[in-house]
């Protein structure tokens, strides 16, 4: 009997270790203010292996419920975020504010919607949700991030669309929500929590890695960074990378990168000269050692090249 019991224990231990190896992604909440926390995504491209955990999400605990900022890149990550929140409070998530509609920030929304949380986002997010690119991206993600993003993963609209500015007050805590841009996307929001001294900026600021420019309005993005800097927040939580206790420095990094792209590509774009020649003749040494340089930098430069031609 003892031998059978020992064998059963060994089998259960083996099964648990297999399960852990199949799902090795752990979220760990990081405290940045008395009631404010965030989880930090990897400096990687999204993949099935990392469950698309490449962006950050934050949350603020109030006396009347929890407010989450961004929903992460897959439903399983949203569920893991809920477990992290549950370690700190028994209060429910009552609101989710979306900094922008990009896949790595929104595929977890359905988890919060199902539990009754109210979703807030910038009004131009409606254009993204109705676009062909959003649906094609979801189809591709169901393959690239399977099984974590699959046929049951859906695009979730906001319950309240923010036009310019709004103030959400929950449990005596004010969340000042402001439209910015077009910048990183046409539908960017920033969320300032004065009582915590924390500003959530989404992908307007990147820390510790090459920014993702995509189809951004780089000129408008630079203007938005000046607006963020004028707020002088104590702490910034970016969409990617660690939180920033030195907002001036980290805003400046993103700003300098965008300015360098525009300066390097500007003349060639305006003169309709070859992009390949302009890119090849540019000194990228200050950025080459950073995470995602090889994956993102050339694409960033090309998108800025095209956007300058369209200005």
Give dist(CA 151, CA 143) in Å, integer. 10
Question: Which two structure tokens, joined as six digits, stand for 214?
Answer: 């995509």
Q: What is the pLDDT of residue 2?
A: 41
3-state secondary structure of 120: strand
pLDDT band, residue 22 (cuts 50/70/90):
low
**Residue range 241-284, pLDDT digits in tens:** 999 888 888 899 999 999 999 999 999 999 999 999 999 999 99
DSSP annotation of 183 reads S
Cβ of 285: how many Cβ atoms within 10 Å?
Answer: 7
pLDDT of 172 higher than 50: yes
The alpha carbons of the chain give a radius of gyration, in whole angstroms, of 21
Q: What is the pLDDT of residue 12?
A: 30
Percent with pLDDT over 70 in the chain:
93
Cβ of 274: how many Cβ atoms within 10 Å?
Answer: 11
pTM: predicted TM-score of the whole model, two decimal places? 0.91
**Residues sharing a CB contact under 8 Å with residue 264, sequence separation 6 or more, in sequence order:** 278, 279, 282, 301
What CATH homologous superfamily does 23-216+235-244 map to?
Ribonuclease Z/Hydroxyacylglutathione hydrolase-like (3.60.15.10)
Cβ of 289: how many Cβ atoms within 10 Å?
Answer: 7
Give dist(CA 232, CA 247) in Å, integer. 7
Average pLDDT over residues 67-82: 98
pLDDT band, residue 17 (cuts 50/70/90):
very low
Average pLDDT over residues 56-75: 98
Q: What is the pLDDT of residue 191?
A: 98
> Residue 155: phi, psi to the nearest 5?
-90, 130
């Amino acid at each position: 009997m003892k031998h059978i019991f020992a064998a059963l224990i060994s089998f259960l231990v083996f099964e648990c270790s297999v399960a852990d190896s199949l799902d090795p992604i752990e979220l760990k909440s990081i405290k940045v203010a008395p009631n404010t926390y965030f989880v930090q995504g990897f400096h990687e491209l999204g993949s099935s292996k990392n469950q698309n955990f490449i962006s950050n999400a934050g949350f603020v605990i109030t006396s009347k419920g929890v407010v989450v900022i961004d929903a992460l890149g897959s439903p399983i990550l949203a569920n893991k975020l809920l477990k992290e929140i549950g370690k700190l409070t028994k209060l429910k998530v009552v609101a989710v504010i979306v900094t922008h509609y990009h896949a790595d920030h929104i595929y977890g929304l359905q988890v919060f919607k199902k539990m009754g949380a109210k979703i807030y986002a910038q009004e131009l997010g409606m254009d993204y949700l109705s676009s062909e690119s959003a649906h094609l991206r979801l189809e591709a993600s169901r393959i690239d991030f399977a099984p974590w993003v699959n046929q049951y993963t859906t695009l979730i609209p906001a319950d309240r669309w923010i036009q310019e500015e709004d103030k959400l007050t929950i449990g005596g805590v004010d969340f000042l929500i402001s439209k910015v841009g077009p910048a990183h996307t046409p539908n960017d929001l920033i969320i300032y929590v004065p009582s915590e001294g924390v500003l959530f900026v989404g992908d307007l600021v990147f820390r510790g890695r090459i920014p993702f420019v995509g189809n951004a309005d780089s000129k408008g993005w630079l203007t938005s960074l000046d607006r963020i800097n004028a707020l002088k927040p104590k702490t910034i939580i970016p969409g990617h990378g660690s939180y920033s206790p030195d907002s001036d420095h980290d805003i400046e990094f993103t700003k300098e990168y965008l300015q360098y792209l525009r300066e390097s590509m500007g003349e060639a774009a305006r003169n309709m000269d070859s992009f390949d020649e302009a890119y090849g003749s540019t000194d990228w040494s200050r950025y080459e050692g950073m995470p995602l340089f090889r994956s993102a930098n050339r694409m960033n430069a090309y998108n800025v090249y095209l956007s300058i031609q369209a200005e």
